[in-house]
Amino acid sequence: MNRKKLLATLLKALLSILTVLFFVWSYRSGYYQLIFDDPEGFWFLFQQHLKMVLLSSSLAIALSVPLGILVTRPKFKKVQWLIMNTANLGQTIPSLAILALAMTWMGIGFKPAVFALFLYSLLPILRNTVAGIDSIKPELLDAARGMGYKPYQILFKIELPNAAFSIFAGIRTAVVLNIGTAALAYLVGGGGLGDWIFTGIMMRDNIYLLSGAVPVTLLALFADLTLRIIEGFVISKGVRQSVEAD
């Protein structure tokens, strides 16, 4: 029992040390120098990145959650099959390809990048919304109906709160993916921190590389963490689960 705990603690310690070592090494090597040398440049790219992510994610949430709700209504059960399969198929198209296609269609710049990110975020949210609502035990809905809940009350008081965990997981996945994919926006002239990452790769310049890659990674981790914290407030304690497999 205690040996197992020890092993876990050791691993945690090792990982923390490695992480610290990485940061010390990269910092000492001056790999973040660019951020200090060109703070405006950094801020400019960072803002671009954030704008892309926020805009595309909010649009995606605003579209896919209602759509998910719609297709789980009994009337649309048949459409649901179609939409979910299309969504699953869409999920196989790599983010890079969506970005490229958006560019050939909309030209270069911010717009195609946001559009591609938006498209790419739709699917996880839609899928999780549908799965979350569908997995609610039918007897709960039966109980609610039997107690005189009106359909919209069932939706807002029973279905959404109980599916919230799943929906939020979808949003988290989408936002995190989004932050990573936004780093590709450089390719189509969309800007963002991908600019420095690609410069770093192309010039084999670790300063550009890490000054771009590390902030993007931290941004993703931070977004994930923030959303988890928000989740803690928004989602009822009664429906939170620990480990989920899908």
Partner 1 sequence: MIDFNHVTKVFNDDIKAVDDISFHVPEGNIVVFLGPSGCGKTTTLRMVNRLESISEGTISVNGNSVNELNPIELRRNIGYVIQHNGLFPNMTIEQNVMAVPDLLGWDRKKKKDRFNYLMDLVGLNPDQFRKRYPHELSGGQQQRIGIIRAMAADPPVMLMDEPFGALDPIIRSHIQNEFLQIQEEVQKTILFVSHDIDEAIKMGDKVAIFREGQLMQYDAPDEILAHPTNDFVRKFVGKDRALKSLSLHHIQDLVNEQHLNQADETNKQQKTVPIHTNLKDALSILLNQEAEQLVVQSGDNQIGALTIQDIENYLHEKIM
Partner 2 sequence: ACGGGGSEESSGNEGSGDGEKKLVIGAKNFTEQFVLSKILSIYLKENGYEVEEKNNMASQVVRTALENQQVDLYWEYTGTSLVTYNDQDPIADADQAYEAVKEIDKKNGIVWLNPADVNNTYTLMMRQDDSDELGIKTISDLAEYMNENPDELLIGTNAEFATRPDGIKGVQKTYGFEVPSSNLKKMDSGLFYQALRDGQVDVATGFMTDSRIKAFDLVTLEDDKNFFPAYHAAITVHEDSLAKYPELEELLKPLAENLDSETMMDLNYRVDIDEESETDVARSWLVENGLIEE
Partner 3 sequence: MQELWDYMINNQTLIWTYTLEHMQLVGLSVVIAIAIGVPLGIYLTTNDYLAETVLQMANVIMTIPSIALFGIMIPILSLIDQGIGFVPAVIALILYSQLPIIRNTYVAIKNVDPHIKDAAKGMGMNTIQKLRKVEIPNALPVIMAGVRQAVIMNIGIGAIAAFIGAGGLGVLINQGIARTNSTIVMAGAIAISIMAIVVDMLLGLFQKKMTPKGLEEDLKS
By CB under 8 A, name the binding residues for partner 3: 4-5, 7-9, 11-12, 15, 26, 31, 89, 91-98, 100-101, 103-105, 176, 179-181, 183-184, 187-188, 194, 197-198, 200-201, 204, 206, 209-210, 212-214, 216-217, 220-221, 224, 243-246
Per-residue x/- track, 221-240, partner 1 (CB under 8 A): ---------------xxxx-
Residue 72: partners with Cβ closer than 8 Å, 6 or more residues away:
80, 129, 130, 133, 134, 159
Asked if 74 is part of the footprint of partner 1 (rule: CB under 8 A), the reply reads no
Asked if 243 is part of the footprint of partner 1 (rule: CB under 8 A), the reply reads no
In Å, what is the CA distance from 196 to each residue of 23, 190, 191, 217? 18, 13, 9, 13
Q: How many Cβ atoms sit within 10 Å of the Cβ of residue 170?
A: 27
Nearest CA to 50 among 234, 182, 195? 182
Cα–Cα distance measured from residue 192 to residue 216, given in angstroms and rounded to the nearest whole number: 9
Asked if 11 is part of the footprint of partner 2 (rule: CB under 8 A), the reply reads no
Residue 3: partners with Cβ closer than 8 Å, 6 or more residues away:
none
Q: Closest approach of Cβ 86 to partner 1, in Å?
A: 30
Residue from 91, 134, 205, 217 touching partner 2 (CB under 8 A): that is 205
Q: What is the CA radius of gyration of the chain?
A: 22
Asked if 244 is part of the footprint of partner 1 (rule: CB under 8 A), the reply reads no
Q: Closest approach of Cβ 157 to partner 1, in Å?
A: 8
Q: Which residues bind partner 2 (CB under 8 A)?
A: 38, 40-41, 44, 107-109, 186-189, 191, 195, 198-199, 201-205, 208
